[in-house]
Amino acid sequence: MHVGLGSLVYRVEVPNSAIITARDSVQPSSYSLTALGVVNPTKVVHEKLFEDVRTSGYSAKPSRLTSIFAFLDIGTAKRFRESGRMEAGGILTEHRITRLDKIHIGDMDLVNASANITGQWEMFKDKLPFSGLTPEEAQRKMVEAYWQSNRFHPESTMMELLIEGRLEFVRNIDS
């Protein structure tokens, strides 16, 4: 799956966000996790682990903290919206990549599972490939798998794009 300059990508926007009303471009300075102000302390710790692993072994990859999040196709964007991960629901939008500095395609299931594995260790500890690991080692292994673009459940993955660059608004799919 090749994603490059000119490719169409899909986002789930918070209703009434500036990107929908202004139909402007999306830039990391306005739409990254850092710009949006991640305030959940658990989420901050989790994203710090992703950033630590990225900088120590995958520094050519874009940061989750400063990237634009998008999806490769409308179906995945719809599944994300229906998953309940956005409190306000969300509006499906289509964008074109007009500047691409860095990109990463990662499995959102690895993001979610790595956040929960330490709290649900009894369920995971005897399963391959976690046997013999501590909860923290298993969590780090899952984060590394994310940066390696591995898939947690190959049959039902929800792949997300991290984009350092610029997206131009094309259309609001829901209208």
- Residues in CB range of 15: below 8 A, 6 or more apart: 88, 89, 90, 91
Would residue 54 be called left, alpha or beta, if left means φ above 0 and alpha means ψ between -120 and 50 degrees? alpha
Q: How many other C-beta atoms are found inside a 10 Å radius of the C-beta of residue 92?
A: 19
Beta-bridge partners for 103: 163
Which parts of the chain are beta strand (E)? 8-13, 25-26, 68-70, 91-107, 159-172
Nearest to 36 by CA among 17, 51, 61: 17
Decide which of 171 and 25 is more confident.
171
pTM of the model: 0.84
The segment with the largest mean pLDDT, out of 38-47, 60-69, 152-161, is 60-69
Q: At residue 132, what is the residue type?
A: G
Burial of 75 (0-12, 13-18, 19+ CB in 10 A): exposed
**Per-residue model confidence as pLDDT tens digits over 78-110:** 998 888 766 557 889 999 999 999 999 999 988
- Mean pLDDT (the chain, rounded): 83
Query: Residue 170 in 3-state DSSP?
Result: strand
Average pLDDT over residues 6-18: 83
**Per-residue model confidence as pLDDT tens digits over 16-61:** 666 555 555 666 555 555 555 555 677 778 889 999 999 999 999 9
Does 142 score more than 80 pLDDT? yes
pLDDT of residue 125: 77
Tokens representing residue 27 in the block: 């830039």
Decide which of 158 and 1 is more confident.
158
